[in-house]
Amino acid sequence: MSSFANYIKETRAEFKYVNWPTRRQSTNFTLLVILISAIVAFLLFAFDALFITILETFIF
């Protein structure tokens, strides 16, 4: 059990060296992820619709 306590102490000590992002950076990164996700979703939708149209033209 002492090794677990030692692990916790070392983990807490390492957290002092972590460079945490600011609130503004976190907000900007979150908005960037949402924007990129929306763009990728739109592109997937567009290509899917295009491929469906092409397949329906040749199959039916």
Q: Is the pLDDT of residue 55 over 80?
A: yes
Domain boundaries, the chain: 2-59
The per-residue pLDDT for range 5-44, each reduced to its tens digit, is: 999 999 999 999 999 999 999 999 999 999 999 999 999 9
Q: Is the pLDDT of residue 48 over 80?
A: yes
User: pTM higher than 0.75 for the full model?
Assistant: no
Specify whether the CB–CB gap between 12 and 4 falls below 8 A.
no
Burial 27-53 (b: 16+ CB within 10 A, else e): eeeeeeeeeeeeeeeeeeeeeeeeeee
DSSP string, 10-27: HHHHHHTT--PPPHHHHH
